[in-house]
Amino acid sequence: MAKKVKQAAPNVVKRPPVVVVMGHIDHGKSTLLDTLRMSNIVDGEAGGITQHLSAYVVPHKTKDGAEETITFLDTPGHAAFQKMRLRGADVADVAILMVSAEDGVKPQTLEALESIKAANIPYVVAINKIDKPGADVQRTKNTLIENEIYIEGMGGDVPWAAISAKQGEGIDELLDLVILAADLAELRGDTNASAVGKVIEGKVDPKRGNTATLIVTNGTLKSGQFVVAGETYSPVRIMEDFQGKTVKEAGLSAPVRIVGFTDTPVVGIEFTTVANKKEAEATVLEHKAGSEAASPTIAKKSNLPVIPLLIKADVLGTLDAIEHELEKFESDRITVKVIDKGVGDVTVNDVQNVAATEDAIIVGFSVKVERPAQDLAERLGVEIDTFDIIYELSEWLETALKNRTPKKEEQVETGSVKILKHFSMQKHVHVMGGRIDEGVIKLGQAVKILRRDIEIGTGVIKNLQQAKSDVQQVEEGEFGMQLETKAEIAPGDYLKPYDTVIT
């Protein structure tokens, strides 16, 4: 067993809360964080939608005059980012559930609440947008109660505050409630312990390599140590705080970016700290051995045609979101298989990887396609599609996969005809009289020929006559027809005309 960093005597102190802001996509989560940090992240996001999980430290002076700090996580609101939201709630100590005073509770509000409940953390409700003309706080409170969110003053114990994230109104009161919830949870940490925590984001920086954002849940992370996360590790040489400033150590609840991992860490995994590279390598080997000992999952076998996808995204959390979108795609005719995935731009290597695989598509999200990769893809006929907004990706996936779905012919019966009289036959063309029992029969239509409900043959309608005139179709009554078929037809047989529909 690898030795951990040598510890000093315990020094248990109050730990700042890690807070996750959750709710519907446009109920003001980003605006709240924006106001708290006095900067604008919304404009920097494609389509104005927050699509990455990040962390920020905010100082707050309570109404009692206590100086506190709060670490905020920001989780995306779009349904495709459910896994990232769950991860955010899993890391957090307290949640803020954002609800618009204009819209009230929405399906995504309830989705966010489920994530909070699954993480088993306390939460406070922020009724936002009280500055809007359509705001109705009382009606919003009623929608909360209707959805079993029992707030204080309405028969429940969930704290709430009415705020305007845009104008800053009510935010101090909201943060006081957050601090109170954290105090009731009695958050503690040992500043002298070896740092442990969670990886909340991982990406490949084109200039600096594998980087990860970590939240320290206990202990102090110091420069010169080694961080181990699953099957990857990194020396703590380049460590930056949420503002991008280089720091020598990170304490309780601090978010930091570490540069120099041997591979991109798995998002959501716990990290530990060891003293040197040798111990880091030994800890990684232990983890690998444990993973290999676990029973392998057995993939479902399918005889359906496969559409292979290679997915590239800017960060690991986005890969989760794309896979979430793929899971929603259901078809009884094709199956989708992710043959490879990774973070970073689309490279020549990616194109070469899929070139030999028929119908393979490279999907990129918030990444660039390197020029040599684009040129090679054009030469080899490899399709590459890139996106910046999850909505566009969702729509494209639906269309692209449908376009590759094998077509299926389906016979749709249009009616039922009883043969009343057989007049003559010449070269397999029968002249007969019949009656429409239901539906319609059309010129040129294929028919099934049934005798006592047993199919005895098929044919094609060559001519239709009604009231001594040629017609295109017959919808009621008796009529004459010419039917081309090799079957022997007799009065009393039935024709079942049908159209062939390609779906």
Q: What is the pLDDT of residues 240-283, one digit of tens each?
A: 988 888 999 999 999 999 999 999 887 778 899 999 999 999 99
Amino acid at 75: T
The type of residue at 451 is R
pLDDT: which is higher, 315 or 454: 454
> Range of 442's domain?
410-502
User: Could you tell me how far CA 321 lies from the centroid of its own chain?
Assistant: 3
Looking at the structure, tell me whether residues 209 and 175 fall in a common domain: no
163-168's contacts with Cβ under 8 Å and 24+ in sequence apart are 163/32, 163/126, 163/127, 163/128, 163/130, 164/128, 164/129, 164/130, 164/131, 165/28, 165/31, 165/32, 165/34, 165/35, 165/126, 165/128, 165/129, 166/28, 166/31, 166/35, 166/129, 166/131, 167/131, 168/35
Band of pLDDT at residue 307, cut at 50, 70 and 90: confident
Residue 48's pLDDT is: 43
Chain-centroid distance of CA 78 in Å reads: 8
Does the pLDDT of residue 502 top 80, yes or no?
Answer: no
Residue that terminates a domain, selected from 165, 186, 207: 186
Could you tell me if 317 and 347 lie in one domain? yes
Whether 82 is covered by a domain: the verdict is yes
Q: Does residue 298 register a pLDDT over 50?
A: no
Here the CATH number for the domain that contains residue 467 is: 2.40.30.10
- Distance CA(447)–CA(339), nearest Å, equals 45
The pLDDT, as a whole number, for residue 47 is 45
> Which of 403, 432, 457 is the C-terminal boundary of a domain?
403
Domain final position from 403, 428, 449: 403
Q: Are residues 173 and 195 in the same domain?
A: no
Q: In which order are the strands placed within the sheet that holds 335-343? A: 335-343, 306-313, 361-365, 383-387
Domain of 180, CATH number, reads 3.40.50.300
Which residue type does 436 have?
I
Q: Which residues contact 457 (CB under 8 A, 6 or more apart)?
A: 448, 449, 485, 486, 487
Residue of 79 and 438 predicted with greater confidence: 438
Residue 374 within a domain: yes
In-domain check, residue 432: yes
Same domain, 343 and 438: no
In a domain, 9, yes or no: no
Question: What six digits make up the tokens of 191?
Answer: 């500043």
Q: Are residues 96 and 218 in the same domain?
A: no
Q: Answer yes or no: do 397 and 487 share one domain.
A: no
Structural domain tally of the chain? 4
pLDDT of residue 406: 64
Same-domain pairing of 34 and 124: yes
Same domain, 449 and 398: no
Q: Based on the domain organization, do 33 and 137 belong to the same domain? A: yes
Residues 129 and 67 reside in one and the same domain = yes
Residues of the chain above pLDDT 90, percent: 47
One domain for residues 81 and 147: yes
Same domain, 34 and 180: yes
Predicted structure pTM score: 0.60
The CATH number of residue 364's host domain is 3.40.50.10050
For all residues of the chain together, what is the average pLDDT? 84
What confidence tens digit (pLDDT) does each residue in 324-356 have?
Answer: 777 776 666 677 788 888 888 999 989 988 887
